[in-house]
Amino acid sequence: MSTLSVAGVQPDIAWEQPETNLTRADDAVARAAADGARLVVLPEMFATGFSMNAQAMASHADTIAAWVSEAARRHGVWLIAGLAVPGEARPRNEARLVDPEGGVRAAYHKVHPFTLAREHEHFEGGGAVFTVEVEGVRVTPLVCYDLRFPELFRAVAADTDLFVVVANWPEARRAHWRALLHARAIENQAYVLGVNRVGEGDRLRYVGDSVLHDPLGEAVATAAAQPGRVRGVVDAAQVREVRARYSFLADRRPAVYATL
């Protein structure tokens, strides 16, 4: 089987209020599962908001992580969710992928902290990318600012059918979010699911624009600037067909690039 029904949840996140956000997320995951989604995605730091109060946010990690595993198990879905977790020198901004039994299959730590918001002073960056096969579809989770670095996507494109980007991307750079998600799908000939939040947090406004692009860059589904979901079906066979028909990735010349 190479098709996967996916749902990206686009919530209004209550600032630094895990209990409120977990309640909202539970309802959203339940509805997505009831509609047939096999992979449900929640945004970056979905239970707290993108707060630089890193140590305090990471102190909720055990509670949030336990909820993520329990929700996946209870609803029988794969679940990707963003949260702050303890690190070595500083906490880390994580996208966690769990299976329908609640087992952690990947814990991706945001490689590129967002220096404009001084995230690098509060969170330490990760150093690895993980791709997990989810019911026949190869899924690679990434986090927000990573979207601006095509090198990261390209490094694992050959082994990825679906990139999932969880984010708290503000309205001020809305056009960038839209353009970069579109570009990452086109240049890597892969599905790209961008899952953002709406509402306000720490004096910033968010308008969502969650979207699923197919391997040709066409928008399969989009979400309006309000709480909701973006839904669609990912087909790994279509990724293979597009790459075979348009051999753009095969025409790359890494040996030349290394000399530049």
Catalytic positions, written as ranges:
44, 110, 144
Give 255: exposed, middle or buried? Use CB within 10 Å, 0-12, 13-18, 19+: exposed
* 229 close to 36: Cβ distance less than 8 angstroms: no
In this prediction the pTM is 0.97
- Give the pLDDT score at 29: 98
Kindly report the average pLDDT of the chain as a whole number: 97
Mean pLDDT of all residues in 110-126 = 97
Query: Could you tell me the residue ranges of all domains in the chain?
Result: 3-257
Domain 3-257 coded CATH 3.60.110.10:
yes
Average pLDDT in the 135-159 region? 98
Place 151 in a pLDDT band, splitting at 50, 70 and 90: very high
pLDDT the model gives residue 1? 66
- Phi-psi region for residue 44, left (φ > 0), alpha (ψ -120 to 50) or beta? beta
The one-letter code for the residue type at 43 is: P
In angstroms, the CA 134 to CA 222 distance is 22
